[in-house]
Each structure stands twice: as structure tokens, then as C-alpha cells.
Amino acid sequence: MNDNSHINHNSQSDDKPESGLRKWLGYGVRYLLPLLLTVALVWYMFRKVDFHVMMDIIRNGVDYWWILFAMGISVFSHIFRAARWRLQLRGLGIDAPFMALCCSIFGCYALNLVFPRLGEVWRCTYISSRQKAPFTTVLGSMVADRLADTLTVLLLTVLTFVVANSAINSFLAKYPVGRDLIAMLSNPWFWIIALGAVLLGGIAFYLLRNTAFVIKLKGWLRELWQGFVVVARMKGRGRFVALTGCIWGCYFFQLYVAFYAFPFTRELCTQPLLGWGLIPCLVAFVLSSIGMAIPSNGGLGPWNIAVMFGLAVYGITDAQGTAFSMLQWSGQTVMLIILGIYTMGYIAISRRKA
């Protein structure tokens, strides 16, 4: 009896450090790694430019009214996203107030400034708890929301290759990382290994199908799938597509409007061969959208470097590109902080009324 209790006591004491280590390791991967990545990319960006030259560009010759205009456009992109998400949730029988959905989007992006990717989890948690809906179903609708964005980026990338082929080739020639990525995706062995990994996962899932963990996992996946496929059967699919266009139209034009704030990008908007600046903006926009896939605090680092690369193809210097990207990013960040504060106030007032 005493021996067994001694053994159990030892096993529990051994498990606690291990579980604690796993917990801290998880925190490190989720929060510390994106922060370190952000710092490293910002260091790389500023290592390429003269900081004093960049600050001189920001202080002199910038028309800040265009930056404010771009900030205003960004608010509408969040409102359109909330309207699109409402269509999905209504298809699932979840009828959340529109302002609550808007604030869930505002809070999502504000939280991502501090904890990358945590904002998406928070907005699903907020709406599911507010409306007493299954979290995994709401999460599935958010996954479908993000998939629509991914498909939009892919379509825009194809469009960019068509209308700005020479610029993309110049980019790939100057920065071999992009060329290496395309080469990797073109290698049949990459897809063979990926397919093999999926098959092994499917076999393991089948062999363990009667275990408690897999049974619970299947229940979660079923609810997740319901939220995901609602787009295919819900009412208002045409509005969903139209709102997707509105969201990404706002993203594009808030960047294009910022072109008029700087003399060197404003000059691109006077050239008919460049589509009055629309083609350079499209190149920078697509590269920056792809860069946002890299987890960092509010896109700081990868977004800025991607914009720099896109503008460099059209003769914009690194100092000018950094000044443009940092000022535009800062304007959007200030707007997200304001919207985040508004969201906190809305939630506090809503709970007091309830």
C-alpha cells in the first residue's frame, strides 16, 4: 500500500515538471517565436537602410491627409468582413448583432498586434459565448472566411503575373528566395512526400478510430466541417462573393491612396504605362498579402519588407520603400488601436446592460 502510494507520488511529481515545460514551450512557440521573428525582420529591414535618411523622408514631403484617408478606408474593410461573416453565421442559425460582429473583427486585429493569430481564436470565442453557440462550429466559419481570403490572394497573384510579368521576373531574379520557393513547389518529390504524409495520417486515424481521443476529435471535426461548408449552401452566396471583393478592394485602395502621400510613389501614379500607379501598387499589394502569412506582430517586418521589394522593382530606393511601408503600417496600427479601445468599451457597456 505504501509502496504503491510512493510510486504514484513519484509519477505525479515527474509529470508536473514535464507538463509545465510543455506549457511554457507552447507559450514560447505561440508568442515568443513571432516576437523574435518580428524583431529579426525589422533588424534586417533597417540594416539595409540609413535610418536618418528614412526619417528625413517621413518628416519632409509627406502629405499626411492621404495617410488619414487610407486609415479611414481600412475601417470599411473590417465592416465588410463583419457583414460577410454574418452571412456565414446566419447560415448556421447564429444571428449575432452586427455591431458585435464588427467589434469582434476590430478586437481580432487589435489583439493580433500583440499576440499573432490569437485574435482569430478570440473573435470565435467571443461570438460563440455571446450567442451560446458551439465554438468549433463558429471556428469552422472563420476557417472558411480565411480560405476565401487565400483564394482571393491566389487569384490576385495570377492577375499580377499577367499584368506585371516583367516586374515579377525582375523580383525573382533579384531575390532568389522566391525563385527557390517556386522551384520547390514545381518539384514532384515535394508533392509525393506531402501526399505520403497525408496517407500515413489517414491510416493512423483509421487504426485508432475507436479510441476516446479520436472519437472526440471526430466530433470536433464534424462541428468544424459544418461551419466550413455553410458557404456552399447558405443564402446570399452572391453577396458573400461581392463582400469579398469589397474587403480586398479596400485593402488594395488603402495602399494605392498612400501612394499619393509620397513624392516618389506619386510619380508612379502619373505614368500611363504603369496604369497610373495601379500596376506597381498591385505588385506591392500581392507581395505584402503573401508576406502576411508569416506570423509576426501585426505584420510588422514581413509586410514592410514585401512592400519594399515590390516598390524596389520600380526604382524606389530601400530608404524610400522603408519610409513608405513604416508610415503606412503605423497609420493602420494606430487605427487598429483606436478600434480595439472602442471594442473594449462596447463589450463593457454590453455586459453592464445584460
pLDDT at 232: 66
Distance of CA 186 to the CA centre of its chain: 25
Q: From CA 259, how far away is CA 218, in angstroms rounded?
A: 49
* pLDDT averaged per 10 residues, the chain (length 354): 48 50 52 55 56 71 90 95 92 90 92 82 90 87 86 87 74 59 68 83 76 69 64 79 94 94 91 86 87 69 82 85 88 89 89 79
Q: Residues, the chain, total? A: 354
Q: From CA 272, how far away is CA 263, in angstroms rounded?
A: 17
The answer to whether residues 111 and 343 touch, using CB atoms and an 8 Å cutoff, is: no
pLDDT at 74: 93
Q: From CA 10, how far away is CA 29, in angstroms rounded?
A: 29
Q: From CA 103, how far away is CA 63, in angstroms rounded?
A: 30
Residue 14, in any domain of the structure: no
- Can you spell out the DSSP letters for 235-297? S-HHHHHHHHHHHHHHHHHHHHHHHTTSHHHHHHTT-GGGTTTHHHHHHHHHHHHHHTTS--G
| Type of residue numbered 258 | A
pTM, entire model: 0.76
Provide Rg for the chain, Cα atoms. 24
**Containing structural domain, residue 125:** 48-353
Q: What is the pLDDT of residues 114-169, one digit of tens each?
A: 777 788 888 999 999 999 988 888 888 888 888 888 889 888 888 888 887 776 66
pLDDT at 29: 47
Specify the DSSP element, H or E, that contains 337. Answer: helix 318-353
Residue 84, in any domain of the structure: yes
Residue 42, in any domain of the structure: no
Residue 24, in any domain of the structure: no
Kindly report the backbone phi and psi dihedral angles of residue 153, in degrees, each rounded to the nearest multiple of 5, phi listed first: -65, -40
Kindly report the backbone phi and psi dihedral angles of residue 210, in degrees, each rounded to the nearest multiple of 5, phi listed first: -100, 5
Residue 197, in any domain of the structure: yes
Q: What is the pLDDT of residues 307-332, one digit of tens each?
A: 888 888 888 888 888 889 888 888 89
Q: From CA 123, how far away is CA 207, in angstroms rounded?
A: 35
Residue 238, in any domain of the structure: yes
Q: Return the axis-axis angle of helices 64-91 and 98-112, rounded to nearest 10°.
A: 120
Q: Where are the alpha helices (DSSP H) in 164-187?
A: 165-174, 176-186
pLDDT at 48: 59
Kindly report the backbone phi and psi dihedral angles of residue 300, in degrees, each rounded to the nearest multiple of 5, phi listed first: -60, 125
The answer to whether residues 248 and 81 touch, using CB atoms and an 8 Å cutoff, is: no
Question: How many structural domains comprise the chain?
Answer: 1
Question: Among 133, 113, 142, which Cα is nearest to 296's?
Answer: 113
pLDDT at 172: 64
Kindly report the backbone phi and psi dihedral angles of residue 63, in degrees, each rounded to the nearest multiple of 5, phi listed first: -95, 100
Distance of CA 210 to the CA centre of its chain: 36
